[in-house]
Amino acid sequence: MSAHDRSGFGSSEARLKPEEFRLLRDLFCSRIGVHFSLESRFIVERRLRERLGALGLTTFAEYYQYLRFAPGAPAEWDEAIDLVTTNETYFCREDYQLRSFKNELLPMLVEQTKPRGGHLSIWSAGCSTGEEVYSIAMLVQQSNLFRPENVRIYGSDVSRRCIAAARKGVYGASSFRAIDPMLRDRFFIQRADGVHVDPLLKSMCHFGQHNLLDADKARLLGRADVVFCRNVLIYFDAHARKRAIDVFHERLHAGGVLLLGHSESLLNVSTAFELLHLKEDLAYRKPKGFGRADSPRE
């Protein structure tokens, strides 16, 4: 049997022991904030097992050591993160919130962005393969409230594979499961290799690989008028959730708005935002007075 065969055999048989699971779970949590419950041991085992084969390792303890100390660890982190993160998404997800964004928040932002020349900046944090980013762009376009060249929508995700797919902007049927057919007809082009995002929409959208726990890198993004972070923090532990929320608070303009997923809230996480009651949703606003002379933090 060749060395390659042996590693393949070892990887397919490797079991993730409870103590190895705890080590890997803590390592992932401190790196990207995602917390695996005890019940997810077998999912983690199944998802990461192929990496043992690819690296010629036979146990998950060796894989843990590899992620911590091997010269190839940075590239391996990209592989591992692609495998363990949950990237489910589709166009116009949580449409009641997007309606509030279009009908209530965008008109409010017209006034708010006037002193900055009408430039609108939106950050979709944890955007997966980009459907959320392009959905936001469609609504901004539909509203006719901002000139396309004044709009910058930045989508970020920790998964390198997701960001590559988002930049490509070519989608299959499951991404369109909840979209209004009129939006699909207006903003997409059918080609032989799939359904492409319209170039004008694409010109408003930018993407980057970014770990939400990396506050220093977030500072390079500039400030945003709106941050969408939907269906991301549910996977985080309490400490990581707080770190990410602090980053959003810092990156928002005073008066800027944070939108979370329907099962997420700032309860027990932060008191730095005020509640903004919209017709169909609840949003979080960085207080308008934040940053004036009476506030030493900005």
* d(C-alpha 120, C-alpha 205), whole Å: 12
Angle at 197 between CA 192 and CA 199, to 5 degrees: 110
d(CA 243, CA 236): 10
Pick between residue 105 and residue 259 the one whose CB is nearest to ligand SAM. 259
The smaller minimum CB distance to ligand SAM, of residues 8 and 208, is found at: 208
Label residues 269-283 b or e (16+ Cβ within 10 Å = b).
beebbeebebeebeb
- Restricting to residues 269-298, name those near ligand SAM by CB under 6 A: none
Q: Are 240 and 213 in contact (CB under 8 A)?
A: yes
Nearer to ligand SAM, 57 or 245 (CB): 245
Give me the amino acid identity at 266: L
Residue 56 CB, shortest distance to ligand SAM, in Å, is 27
CA distance 279 to 96: 9
Q: Would you say 170 or 234 has its CB closer to ligand SAM? A: 234
Distance from the Cα of residue 13 to its chain's centroid: 33
Contact pick of 67, 158, 163, 269 for ligand SAM (by CB under 6 A)? 158
Residue 97 found at the interface with ligand SAM (CB under 6 A):
no
Q: Is 32 in the site for ligand SAM (CB under 6 A)?
A: yes
Q: Is 159 in the site for ligand SAM (CB under 6 A)?
A: yes
Among positions 12, 30, 86, 295, the unique one binding ligand SAM when judged by CB under 6 A: 86
- Considering beta carbons, is residue 48 or 213 the nearer one to ligand SAM? 213
Q: Is 130 in the site for ligand SAM (CB under 6 A)?
A: no
Burial class (CB in 10 A: 0-12, 13-18, 19+), 93: buried
Half-sphere exposure of 66 (CA within 13 A, CB side): 20
- Single out the residue of 13, 19, 88, 280 in contact with ligand SAM (rule: CB under 6 A): 88
- 132 touching ligand SAM, by CB under 6 A: yes
Residues that bind ligand SAM (CB under 6 A): 32-34, 85-89, 93, 126-128, 132, 157-159, 162, 211-213, 230-232, 235, 261
